[in-house]
Structure 1
């Protein structure tokens, strides 16, 4: 498949690119000006060669994700759009909602859209400590970024795209575990962390799962 990855220079985005290439996909990585991913291009092409991938990493493209006219020609001709963009950790943020608005406008005939959100904005199936202690604290500390994630999810859910929203809990840079738990009807009880590598693997595996189309999935290790 031909994949286009936004937020490709971030830690989940880089995993999406690496794993996507290694799995045999033709990947276009979209980054900001001056991204370090440009420096990694030879290494990524080597990953493709070792995996025997024809095409492999198609290109690293510098484009403004907030400008639909800029990214529409980048998206055109691909099968799947993946977004690993994250909210600003502090202060007012519209990174998630604004980028989703732009991407949806730019997708044209491309239907499949997979996005990373956050588990913290979701409820249901939490244990009492998480529901009454942990979640209220997170809601106060991360209220701006959580609000942005909610707006993004609402915008995507109202669209006509074949979307899937993956919502992991606190992210770590540990080695991939290769195991996942998920819930489309609420949270994953006891699911407090997930490796970024496993988030990328889950999203790539979800591309072909028709049962996850137009579903929001809370995921965890």
Structure 2
């Protein structure tokens, strides 16, 4: 499989790239700045592209079979990277006849007051993270309304732990437990797995230890 990884230089995206190469896939790593992903491999192509520029995406995605969206932002207060980015990503995918998509969201999307979110995290969602969650939910809405063969991953608290393959998958998309965590490496592993099996097709699932 030839997989495009958007946000490949990010803290989760680079794990997706490494694991896909390790599984024998060809990888097209989309980064905002060449040099931000210090990785070389015979089956790796690194391409500069911007999710706000559909033309750059269209060129980069040509010939790919599937897409992983691991885009992210830490900016505030106005955030529209996720919704604007996924709209452009899906437009470029459609024009290249690519249908398989796995995207990263976050635990708490469409469940901001769920009992399995800690009080502190609920407070953040209402305040500092409010715009971020508004945009994540818009992104998910756009994906769900599309004709793509999609899976959305809502990871709990992200860590820099090792890949274990030992985590729970919540099929309802609701947070699994208060203070739950999962390593970025395990998130990467799930994203790749979801491209190759239909178990979570057209579902938003929560993943946590």
TM-score w.r.t. the length of structure 1 is: 0.86
**2:14 aligns to what?**
14
Q: How does 1:34-73 map to 2 (within 5 A)?
A: 34-37=34-37, 39-41=38-40, 45=41, 56-57=43-44, 59-73=45-59
Q: Deviations over 1:114-137 (max 9, x none)?
A: 100011224399546x37x24531
Residue 75 (1) aligns with residue 64 (2): no
CA–CA separation in structure 1 for the residues paired with 2:39 and 2:25: 18
Q: Deviations over 1:42-84 (max 9, x none)?
A: xxx2xxxxxxxxx522x10011221112211211211110011
SS, match of residue 103 in structure 2: strand
Higher helix content, 1 or 2: 1
Compute the displacement of 1:191 (Å): 5.8
CA–CA separation in structure 2 for the residues paired with 1:67 and 1:89: 19
Q: How does 1:76-91 map to 2 (within 5 A)?
A: 76-91=62-77
8 Å Cα contact 2:113/2:122 also seen in 1: no
8 Å Cα contact 1:6/1:82 also seen in 2: yes
**1:196 aligns to what?**
184
Compute the displacement of 1:218 (Å): 0.8
Gaps of 5+ in 1: 46-54
Q: How does 1:1-221 map to 2 (within 5 A)?
A: 1-37=1-37, 39-41=38-40, 45=41, 56-57=43-44, 59-108=45-94, 109-123=97-111, 126-127=114-115, 130=117, 133-139=119-125, 140-185=127-172, 186-190=174-178, 192-221=180-209
TM-score w.r.t. the length of structure 2 is: 0.90
CA–CA separation in structure 2 for the residues paired with 1:215 and 1:202: 13
Compute the displacement of 1:170 (Å): 1.5
Q: Please, what is the CA RMSD of the aligned residues?
A: 1.9
Higher deviation after alignment, 109-118 or 133-142 = 133-142
CA–CA separation in structure 2 for the residues paired with 1:31 and 1:118: 21
Q: Deviations over 1:139-167 (max 9, x none)?
A: 22310111110110011111111111001
